[in-house]
Structure 1
Amino acid sequence: MSARVHDCVGAFLVRGGRVLLGRRTADRELLAGAWDVFGGHVEAGESELDALTRELDEEVGIRPIRLRRLQTIEGAQPAPWRLHLYVVTDWQGEPCNRQPDEHDELRWCELDEAVRCLGAAHPAFERLLGEALAAAGA
């Protein structure tokens, strides 16, 4: 029997040629201490867009206005997962850390720093970060 795939959504929040990333707290069960995009699990009966809107509100207090779907990436560790990635270039609200138990730092990163932070997580992140910044006119 195959393991259930964890469907997740995530967003590159892009402004002024930089992308906002969050560092997961050291006590998180998954990806402790790793830099990450904002998002989370798609709940039963929820669309990708509904999940993304909910997660961005919960984590950083924004509501996406202008966004575009980039790509879905997949992995098998620590359990099978699928991440539907979006770029958000306009939103309501000002991003702030609404879940300090999940992220201990938020940082606006230029492309090279974002690639250093996320590049090891998946080989597609470098290309997708470039696409996200290009979509915002960076």
Structure 2
Amino acid sequence: MSAQVHECVGAFVVRGGRVLLGRRTATREFLAGAWDVFGGHVESGESELDALVRELDEEIGIRALRLQRLETIEGAQPVPWRLHLYVVAVWQGEPSNRQPEEHDALRWCERDEAVRCLGAAHPAFERLLDLALAAAAV
């Protein structure tokens, strides 16, 4: 029997050619201390979009008004997971850290800094970041 895949959503929150990242606290089970995009698990009965809108509100206090799907990446560690990634360039509210138990810092990053920060999260993030920045510029 195969392990259940954890369905997750995440967003590159982009403004003015920069992306907002959060540093995961040292106590997080997955990617502790790493910089990452915002998002989380899709709950039972929830759509990807509903989950992402909920997570962005819970984590950084914004209401996404325009979401564009980028693609899905997958991995097997520490458990099987699937991450559906989006870009959010239009929202209501000003991002702030509403869940300090999940993220101990937020940072607006230029492209090259974001690539360095995200390097530990997943090898596809550099290419996806470029897609997100291009999509947000349209």
Q: TM-score, length-normalised on structure 1?
A: 0.97
Tell me how far 1:27 sits from its aligned partner: 1.3
Write the letter of the residue equivalent to 2:112. D
Whether 2:104 is the aligned partner of 1:104: answer yes
Q: Deviations over 1:22-48 (max 9, x none)?
A: 001111122110111100000000000
Q: Deviations over 1:90-115 (max 9, x none)?
A: 00100000001110000001111111
What residue number does 1:20 align with? Answer: 20
Residue 73 of structure 2 aligns with which residue? 73
The one-letter code matched in structure 1 to 2:94 is E
- Secondary structure in structure 1 of the residue aligned to 2:106: strand
Equivalent position of 2:92 in the other structure: 92
Quick one: which amino acid aligns to residue 29 of structure 2? E
Tell me the distance in 2 between the aligned counterparts of 1:35 and 1:121: 7
Gaps of 5+ in 1: none
Distance 1:21 1:106 in 2: 6
Identical-pair percentage: 83
Corresponding residue number in structure 1 for 2:63: 63
Q: What does residue 5 of structure 2 align with?
A: 5
